[in-house]
């Protein structure tokens, strides 16, 4: 099988996504709405599947193929170093590669806090949440960071409600199930 190679772009509105596909071929394709912070090593083929994480892998894979249809929302909870961030990057990259028109958002909880803080300062938090909710796939990594931020928790709940009711895929990761 051949790889899709469109080369790198210099347009500011485009981001270049480079990931390893299931066939072991690297593809470079411009994508709108795909974070430039994707780690190209965090792909599905590089993920080690075992009995303890096969359910998480299956749910993330299904979300990448058909966002918002089978498992929605998805919450991955586990200790540090167990692959939650790896799956967050893999599902975002794979979803974007499968459909060039799909907008996928990958944020850390810190990124979410920063965007929310900026939006609150401008008086536009609803606009920020509406913009995020338009993505086909929304992944927020390390939501346990929000455990002491009531406003951010409320905003995340609002985003979850908007996204899931509109058939958008929501995936959250956390180190702590109690927060």
Q: How far, rounded to the nearest angstrom, does the alpha carbon of residue 159 sit from its chain's CA centroid?
A: 14
Dihedral angle computed from the Cα positions of residues 107, 109, 115 and 119, in that order, rounded to the nearest 10 degrees: 130
Computed over every residue of the chain, the mean pLDDT equals 82
| Confidence label for 5 from pLDDT (cuts 50, 70 and 90) | very low
pLDDT digits (tens, 9 = 90+) for 37-60: 789 899 999 999 999 899 999 999
CA–CA distance, 108 with 100 (Å, rounded to integer): 23
pLDDT for 93 beyond 50: yes
| Confidence label for 129 from pLDDT (cuts 50, 70 and 90) | very high
| Confidence label for 176 from pLDDT (cuts 50, 70 and 90) | confident
Q: Which of 4-13, 46-55, 92-101 has the lowest mean pLDDT?
A: 4-13
The per-residue pLDDT for 35 is 54
Phi, psi of 41 (to 5 degrees): -85, -15
């Amino acid at each position: 099988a051949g790889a899709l190679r469109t080369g790198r772009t210099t347009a500011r509105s485009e981001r270049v996504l480079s990931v390893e596909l299931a066939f072991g071929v690297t593809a470079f394709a411009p994508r709108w709405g795909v974070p430039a912070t994707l780690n190209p090593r965090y792909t599905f083929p590089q993920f080690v599947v075992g009995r303890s994480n096969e359910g998480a892998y299956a749910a993330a894979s299904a979300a990448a193929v058909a966002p918002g249809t089978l498992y929605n929302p998805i919450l991955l909870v586990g200790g540090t170093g167990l692959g939650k961030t790896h799956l967050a990057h893999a599902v975002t990259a794979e979803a974007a590669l499968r459909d060039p028109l799909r907008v996928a958002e990958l944020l850390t909880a810190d990124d979410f806090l920063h965007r929310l803080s900026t939006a609150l300062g401008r008086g536009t938090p609803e606009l920020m949440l509406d913009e995020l909710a338009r993505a086909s796939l929304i992944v927020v990594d390390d939501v346990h960071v929000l455990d002491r931020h009531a406003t951010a928790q409320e905003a995340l709940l609002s985003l979850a409600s908007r996204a899931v009711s509109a058939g958008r895929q929501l995936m959250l990761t956390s180190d702590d199930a109690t927060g």
